[in-house]
Amino acid sequence: MQIFVNEQAIKNRISFLKSKNKSIGFVPTMGALHDGHIALMKESINQCDITICSIFVNPTQFNNKEDLIKYPNTIESDLKKLRKVGVDIVFYPTEKVIYPKNLDLSVNLDLEKMDEKWEGEFRAGHFKGVVQVVKRLLDIATPNFLFMGQKDFQQFTIIQMMLNKLKIPTKLVVVPIFREKDGLAMSSRNVRLTSDFRSKSPIIYKALNYAKDNYLKLPITEIESNVLNLLEVNGLKPEYFKIVNGIDLEVVNVDNDKYVIAIVAAWAGDIRLIDNIIIKK
C-alpha cells in the first residue's frame, strides 16, 4: 500500500495507472475508520483495479468548531485496516495541500436549496464544505468510480447533483448502511457516546423500522409524531424525523412517490446521530 501526502506525487502515480488502463475507485473519508468505511473499500476493491482511500478531516464542512477539535484521529489503526483489506493507495494530505493559499477553490454551483434543508438547516454551510472538498479530491484522484455511504443520504444526493451539473465523468456508487449488531448505524462519532447513550441509541433503528412497517397503514403525520415521541421517551433529542422522497428529499404527504425514505437526526447526549431507511424504491 502506497501512502501519499503530496498532491503532485499522487497525481503522477494515478496518471501512470490510467496510462495502463487501470480503473480507479475512490473512497473519501475523514478517518477514524470502522467497518462501515471498510464495506466501501471492499466494494471498490471488487469493482475496480485500483482503490484509493483519502483520509482528510475537512475543516470547511464543520459548522461546529468543538466537533472538529474532538474529531477522533486514529491514523495508525486506520492504515492497518486499509492495508489488511487491500487498499492500494492512501491519500493523507495536510490542510495546506488541500487548500493552498494561491488557489481559488470555491465551487459555484446551484444546489437548488438541497443544501439548506434537513441537515443543512441544522448545519449551516456544511454541504458547501462537502462539495468543495469532494470536488477538490476528485480533481486530484480523477477516479472512474466514487464510493459513498447511504448513511449520509443527503450528502450523496448532493454529490450526485454536483457530478451531473459539472459533467464530471465519475460514476457514484452508493453502499448500504453498515450497522452494529443492535442496529446502531456505524459512525466515527459512536466512540464518543457515553455508555448510557450507547445503550439508548439503537432505538433510532427501531424507530426507522417502525416507520417502514407502518407506511400506508397509518397517516404519515401520525407515524412522524409517534417516532418523535418514541425517541424522546427513550432519552434522545430528535432534531427531525421525516418521511421524504428519495430523489429531492421533499416531504411525502400522499403515496404518489416511487422512492420513499425516512430520515432522522437526533442527539444522544452531546453526540448528534443521523440515520435513514429506504421505505420503498
152 is a contact residue toward ligand AMP (CB under 6 A): yes
149 is a contact residue toward ligand AMP (CB under 6 A): yes
Dihedral sign, Cα of residue 185, residue 187, residue 191, residue 196:
negative
Binding range to ligand AMP, per CB under 6 A, among 15-23, 33-41, 218-226, 242-250: 33-41
Compare residues 180 and 248 and give the one whose CB is closer to ligand AMP. 180
Grid cell 412522524 in the structure block, residue: 224
Is 37 among the catalytic positions? yes
Compare residues 29 and 51 and give the one whose CB is closer to ligand AMP. 29
Residue 165 CB neighbours (<10 A): 13
Binding range to ligand AMP, per CB under 6 A, among 35-43, 119-127, 165-173, 209-217: 35-43
Copy the grid coordinates of residue 248.
429531492
Compare residues 77 and 225 and give the one whose CB is closer to ligand AMP. 77
Q: Which of 25, 27, 37, 189 is catalytic?
A: 37
Compare residues 98 and 228 and give the one whose CB is closer to ligand AMP. 98
29 is a contact residue toward ligand AMP (CB under 6 A): yes
Q: Which of 42, 117, 136, 151 binds ligand AMP (CB under 6 A)?
A: 151
How would you classify residue 201: left for phi > 0, otherwise alpha for psi between -120 and 50, otherwise beta? alpha
187 is a contact residue toward ligand AMP (CB under 6 A): yes
**DSSP H or E segment with residue 55:** strand 50-55
239 is a contact residue toward ligand AMP (CB under 6 A): no
Compare residues 61 and 236 and give the one whose CB is closer to ligand AMP. 61
Q: How far apart are CA 243 and CA 182, in angstroms?
A: 23
186 is a contact residue toward ligand AMP (CB under 6 A): yes
Grid cell 485496516 in the structure block, residue: 81
Q: Give backbone dihedrals phi and psi of 51, rounded to 5 degrees, phi first.
A: -115, 125
CB of 35 to ligand AMP, least distance (A): 8
Q: How far apart are CA 101 and CA 115, in angstroms?
A: 26
Residue 82 CB neighbours (<10 A): 24
Q: Which of 37, 42, 192, 272 binds ligand AMP (CB under 6 A)?
A: 37
Q: How far apart are CA 41 and CA 34, in angstroms?
A: 11
CB of 217 to ligand AMP, least distance (A): 28
204 is a contact residue toward ligand AMP (CB under 6 A): no
Alpha helical stretches, state H, the chain: 7-19, 35-47, 65-69, 75-85, 95-98, 119-122, 126-141, 153-165, 195-200, 203-214, 220-233
48 is a contact residue toward ligand AMP (CB under 6 A): no
Rounded to the nearest 10 degrees, how much is the dihedral formed by the CA atoms of 65, 69, 199, 239? 10
Compare residues 8 and 164 and give the one whose CB is closer to ligand AMP. 164
36 is a contact residue toward ligand AMP (CB under 6 A): yes
Site residues (CB under 6 A) for ligand AMP? 29-30, 36-37, 39-40, 148-149, 151-152, 175, 177-178, 185-188
Residues labelled catalytic: 37
